[in-house]
């Protein structure tokens, strides 16, 4: 990146990629989907609570089975008292780079479908899947707003539950680092080389007409 998000706080999503990062979709899709990627170099700048809640707002409009909305979010902005508790629940490798993010969010999901009084009416088939839809909304709104996100499954579940008081009924789905893209040169050598949008399998390996291929 030759400019940072700080230089130009309202980057259009296209301009967030340089030529060497270009992803070329096979079909005509909204450029937002390929502009969203998962950097590790964040600039350590502050994010306001409103900027963060705007991302969670997009998340809450995701679809879910029976509109059960199983997603929950525990968040900290850098500088918040709870920042270290959330950061400390990540595995050390992720702590090393996510410490430069502007916000951390843990995404949880309710394993149960609920009666109006909150009691369980049985296991949910789709709580993780639905929470994943909320996560995509969050990530896309972030890209739209000149931010990027990086989802992590690299966290210590027991530490996370203890640090954030997470009830057993809620699955810890992922931790999310959110921020403005920073200088990749600040990353260790090995990570610097990986600091670009990743490619994808082509649809022929993913999408099948009528039935799974024999």
Could you give the 3-state DSSP secondary structure of residue 130?
Answer: helix
Q: Which is nearer to its own copies, 3 or 169 (CB)?
A: 169
Asked whether position 45 contacts its own copies by CB under 8 A, the answer is no
Can you tell me which of 19, 117, 185, 214 binds its own copies, judged by CB under 8 A? 214
Number of residues that bind its own copies (CB under 8 A): 79
Q: Which is nearer to its own copies, 158 or 203 (CB)?
A: 203
Question: Residue 80 CB, nearest distance to its own copies (Å)?
Answer: 6
Largest CA distance in the chain: 55
Asked whether position 34 contacts its own copies by CB under 8 A, the answer is yes
Q: Which is nearer to its own copies, 119 or 211 (CB)?
A: 211
Question: Residue 185 CB, nearest distance to its own copies (Å)?
Answer: 23
74: alpha, beta or left? (left if phi > 0; alpha if psi -120 to 50):
beta
Site string for its own copies, 173-212 (x = CB under 8 A): xx-----------------------x-xx-x--xxxxxxx
Structure tokens at 122: 């049985």
Relative to beta strand 170-179, strand 103-110 is: antiparallel
Structure tokens at 74: 């525990």
Pick the piece of the chain touching its own copies (CB under 8 A) from 65-73, 91-99, 114-122, 183-191.
65-73
CB 11, CB 35: distance < 8 Å: no
Query: Which residues have CB under 8 Å from 130's CB, separation 6+?
Result: 62, 63, 64, 65, 68, 69, 70, 71, 109, 124
Asked whether position 110 contacts its own copies by CB under 8 A, the answer is no
Asked whether position 4 contacts its own copies by CB under 8 A, the answer is no
Structure tokens at 35: 């502009």
């Amino acid at each position: 990146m030759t400019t940072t998000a700080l230089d130009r706080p309202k980057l259009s999503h296209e301009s967030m990629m340089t030529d060497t990062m270009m992803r070329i979709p096979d079909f005509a899709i909204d450029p937002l989907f390929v502009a969203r990627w998962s950097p590790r170099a964040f600039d350590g700048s502050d994010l306001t609570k409103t900027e963060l809640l705007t991302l969670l707002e997009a998340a809450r409009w995701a679809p879910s089975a029976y509109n059960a909305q199983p997603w929950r979010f525990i968040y900290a902005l850098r500088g918040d008292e709870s920042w270290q508790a959330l950061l400390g629940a990540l595995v050390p490798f992720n702590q090393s780079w996510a410490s430069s993010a502007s916000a951390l969010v843990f995404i949880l999901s309710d394993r149960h479908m609920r009666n109006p009084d909150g009691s369980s009416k049985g296991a949910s088939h789709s709580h993780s899947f639905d929470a994943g839809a909320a996560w995509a909304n969050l990530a896309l709104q972030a890209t739209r707003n000149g931010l990027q996100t990086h989802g992590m499954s690299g966290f210590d579940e027991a530490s996370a539950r203890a640090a954030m008081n997470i009830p057993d009924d809620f699955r810890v789905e992922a931790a999310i680092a959110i921020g403005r893209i920073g200088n990749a040169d600040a990353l260790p050598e090995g990570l610097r080389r990986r600091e670009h949008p990743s490619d994808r399998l082509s649809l022929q390996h993913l999408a099948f007409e009528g039935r799974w291929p024999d």
